[in-house]
Structure 1
Amino acid sequence: MVDMELVSLPGELIVVPTHLLYRAQDPLAVQLLFHDSIQGLIPWVFARDLLAAGTQAPSGTGDVRIWPTRTGTEAVLHLLLSSPHGSAHLTTSLSEIEQWLRSTYQLVPTAEETQALDLETHLTRFLNGTP
């Protein structure tokens, strides 16, 4: 769990408790679950490589854009998430995200992602219309 801050009106930050999820069964993706007191958990799923790239330099186009600012203990990671319902600009500790990402790469290294991906099961579920 990490606290992200929703950047809204100038100077106003709203803390958004966020669960970071990674599953070896879906090794190419990361999931952010934002806790909203009205709607419950709101999921965002995108490529783990996009998150990793965004910790180093501006990355992403379209719905997910990620970039770092500052250095050292004050380093911040920005996430700009867009959907047909609106957009959200969130910030969080860059070092916390980097540490979490390292743990995902220990679980499933980059070179082993396709081996860990169970394509047959995913394809069968898709064709049968089950989640």
Structure 2
Amino acid sequence: MDQHLSTVTHTVTAHLSIPKNLPVPLSAELHYDMADPYAIRLSLGAPTKRPVDWVFARELMTEGLHRPTGSGDVLVIPRHRGHLHFLRVVLRNLAGTAVVDITVREVAAFLRPTFAMVPEGAESLHMNIDDTISELTGRRG
């Protein structure tokens, strides 16, 4: 796990499920940055030149350790049928659906330092509202 003062990066082996085939191991990274305290990034294929990035709520992955959660593009399902040591992340977009399994141990090891850095409920204290508004409106201060 790579950790800087304001980020946490954890390299994991994800298992990509393809219908009618055995899961394929795939290098991936989980990344957290205090600059976006509500979100985590899952980069599939990292550290290749062109990983596929998915950004979603840290709370979604945390809650997904205990119960199925999410709607829309990202669903997280804990310890599913016969795979008690894996967390399943279902990623959907217009191109299709990817089913990715990551060990619960690796996800928990990634999440712990993110909550040490920014405790649950304290995320808003780490946001720069002026920069966020400028970014959303296309204005640069």
Q: Determine the C-alpha separation between the residues in 1 that align with 2:58 and 2:47.
A: 27
| 2:71 alignment partner, SS class | coil
* Distance change (3 Å), C-alpha of 1:111 and 1:9: closer
* Distance change (3 Å), C-alpha of 1:45 and 1:101: same
- Any gaps of 5 or more consecutive residues in structure 1? none
Measured after TM superposition, the shift of residue 78 of structure 1 is 0.3
- Out of 14-23 and 117-126, give the one that drifted further: 117-126
Measured after TM superposition, the shift of residue 60 of structure 1 is 0.6
Q: Determine the C-alpha separation between the residues in 1 that align with 2:18 and 2:129.
A: 40
Q: Which structure has greater helix proportion?
A: 1
| 2:69 alignment partner, SS class | coil
Q: Determine the C-alpha separation between the residues in 1 that align with 2:26 and 2:59.
A: 23
Percent identical: 25
Cα shift readout 1:57-107 (whole Å, capped 9, x = no counterpart)? 11111111111116xxx5110011000011100111011101111110011
Measured after TM superposition, the shift of residue 23 of structure 1 is 0.4
Equivalent residue, structure 2, for 1:46: 56
Matches within 5 A, 1:103-114: 103-114=113-124
1:95 aligns with 2:105: yes
Equivalent residue, structure 1, for 2:90: 80
Equivalent residue, structure 1, for 2:67: 57
* Distance change (3 Å), C-alpha of 1:38 and 1:93: closer
| 2:35 alignment partner, SS class | coil
Measured after TM superposition, the shift of residue 9 of structure 1 is 3.3
Equivalent residue, structure 1, for 2:3: none
Measured after TM superposition, the shift of residue 125 of structure 1 is 2.1
Contact 2:28 2:47 in 1 (8 A): no
* Distance change (3 Å), C-alpha of 1:91 and 1:107: same
Matches within 5 A, 1:105-124: 105-124=115-134
Structure 2-normalised TM-score?
Answer: 0.82
Equivalent residue, structure 2, for 1:128: 138
- Any gaps of 5 or more consecutive residues in structure 2? 1-10
| 1:40 alignment partner, SS class | coil
Q: Determine the C-alpha separation between the residues in 2 that align with 1:37 and 1:103.
A: 21
Equivalent residue, structure 1, for 2:23: 13
* Distance change (3 Å), C-alpha of 1:27 and 1:37: closer
Cα shift readout 1:26-50 (whole Å, capped 9, x = no counterpart)? 0000001111799711110000000
